Amino acid sequence: MRRPTFLVSALMLASTLVACTAPEAAEDSIVTRASDTGTVTIGIRIDQPGLSERTVDGRIVGFDADVARFVAEELGVAAEDIVWRETVAAERESALSSGAVDMVVAAYSITDSRRQEVSFAGPYYETGQDLLVHTATETISGTAQLRGRTLCSPSGSTSSDTVRERFGDAVTLVEYTRVSECVTALLAGRVDAVTTDAAILAGHAAQHPELLRLSGMRLSTERYGVGLPRGDTDARAAVTAALRLMIDSGSWRVSVERNLGPSGIEIPDPPTVGSGGR
C-alpha cells in the first residue's frame, strides 16, 4: 500500500533533523584524526608532582594525565595508544599551531591573549598563583615583604607575567624552562621563592616537607583548560563534553583527591565547564 504523502514528508524531515543534530566532524579536526588513526598526541608536563609526572618506569601519572586519558578515551583512543610529548610552558602555543601535538593538557591557564592563538575547552580546574619558600622564611602576607627578593618562575607562564605586572623592578625575576629547575634553585639558596600555581607548588612542597612550604599568598586566579588548535570547533565541543562527563561521573573528584589530596592542598569544587574556554 502506498504511504500517504504527509507521512513520507514527515519521515524525510525527521531524518534531516537527526543528521543536523549529529554532524560528522570536519576532516581536518583532531576528532576525525583520532577516529581514523586510533591515536592522539598530547602535550603534557613531566615534572609536576600530583599533576603530571614521568615515573622512573616511564609512566605519565597525575591529575592532568588522568584528564588527558579520559578525554582521549572519549575520542575513541585507548590509553596505551596516546603519544605523550613533553611540552613546556613557553612551547604550548607553537606546539599546537605547528601540529606537533593535537592537544595540550599541562596546567594550561586560559587567558584572553592565548585565545588569540589557540582554542580552549574547559575550565576543568581552578587554582591560584602562590609562592613556594623555605620553611624558615618569615610569613609573607603582602607585596611589601617581597621587595628586594629574587623570585623564580617558569618562562612563558602567566606566573612570570603576573610578577612583572605586579612587582616590576621591586623584585628580581629569574626564569627557567621548568618549575623543577626553579625548585632546585630555591633549595640551593639561589632564589628566595618560586612562584607559580599552588596546585603545581603543592606537589613539590610535599616532596620536601621539612624544607619547603607554600606561603598561602594568592597572587592570581588560574583556570586550567585543554589547549586545542585554533578554530577546531569540533574538537572543542567533543573535549568539552568529555570534561563534563568526567566531572558528572565522579571520576574528576576521585582523580583530584588521589593525586592532589596527599599534598595537603584544599580540594576545590569542580568549575563550570564551558564558562571560560570560549
* pLDDT over 90, % of the chain: 81
Task: With respect to residue 7, please indicate whether it lies within any of the assigned structural domains.
Answer: no
For residue 53, the one-letter residue type is E
157 and 176 within one domain: yes
238 and 211 within one domain: no
- Give the DSSP letter of residue 79: G
Find the mean pLDDT for residues 74-101.
96
CA distances from 261 to 53, 124, 150, 253 (A): 16, 17, 30, 10
Is residue 103 within 8 A of residue 44, CB to CB? The reply is no
Which of 169 and 4 is assigned the larger pLDDT?
169
List of residues 6+ apart from 39 with CB closer than 8 A = 77, 81, 82, 83
Mean pLDDT of the chain: 89
241 and 160 within one domain: no
**3-class secondary-structure state, position 106:** coil
For residue 37, the one-letter residue type is T
Around 168, how many Cα atoms within 13 Å sit in the side-chain half-sphere? Answer: 2
Residue 9, pLDDT above cutoff 70: no
Is residue 127 within 8 A of residue 268, CB to CB? The reply is yes
149 and 201 within one domain: yes
Find the mean pLDDT for residues 112-120.
95
Range of the domain at 162: 127-221
Task: With respect to residue 15, please indicate whether it lies within any of the assigned structural domains.
Answer: no
Task: With respect to residue 17, please indicate whether it lies within any of the assigned structural domains.
Answer: no
231 and 122 within one domain: yes
170 and 66 within one domain: no
CATH of the domain at 228: 3.40.190.10
* pLDDT over 70, % of the chain: 91
Is residue 152 within 8 A of residue 186, CB to CB? The reply is yes
Residue 231, pLDDT above cutoff 70: yes
Find the mean pLDDT for residues 133-161.
89
Residue 100 CA to residue 213 CA, distance in Å, equals 36
64 and 192 within one domain: no
Among candidate residues 221, 253, 272, the one where a domain is terminated: 221
Q: What is the pLDDT of residue 23?
A: 57
Reported confidence tier of residue 217, pLDDT bands at 50, 70, 90? confident
- Can you say how many angstroms the Cα of residue 231 is from the centroid of all Cα atoms in its chain? 19
161 and 135 within one domain: yes
Residue 205 CA to residue 132 CA, distance in Å, equals 7
Task: With respect to residue 277, please indicate whether it lies within any of the assigned structural domains.
Answer: no
Residue 141 CA to residue 158 CA, distance in Å, equals 21
122 and 232 within one domain: yes
Residue 174 CA to residue 153 CA, distance in Å, equals 6
Residue 211 CA to residue 251 CA, distance in Å, equals 33
241 and 209 within one domain: no
91 and 75 within one domain: yes
Q: What is the pLDDT of residue 173?
A: 97
Task: With respect to residue 4, please indicate whether it lies within any of the assigned structural domains.
Answer: no
What pTM value is reported for the model? Answer: 0.86
Task: With respect to residue 50, please indicate whether it lies within any of the assigned structural domains.
Answer: yes
Reported confidence tier of residue 176, pLDDT bands at 50, 70, 90? very high
**3-class secondary-structure state, position 124:** strand
Domain count, the chain: 2
Q: Give which of 41, 58, 61, 157 is closest to 107, Cα–Cα.
A: 157
pLDDT tens by residue, 25-52: 787 899 999 999 999 999 999 999 999 9
Task: With respect to residue 274, please indicate whether it lies within any of the assigned structural domains.
Answer: no
Is residue 130 within 8 A of residue 219, CB to CB? The reply is yes
233 and 217 within one domain: no
Strands 40-44 and 220-229, bridge-based pairing: unpaired
Reported confidence tier of residue 144, pLDDT bands at 50, 70, 90? confident
pLDDT tens by residue, 247-260: 999 999 999 999 99
Reported confidence tier of residue 13, pLDDT bands at 50, 70, 90? very low
Q: What is the pLDDT of residue 265?
A: 87
Q: What is the pLDDT of residue 277?
A: 60
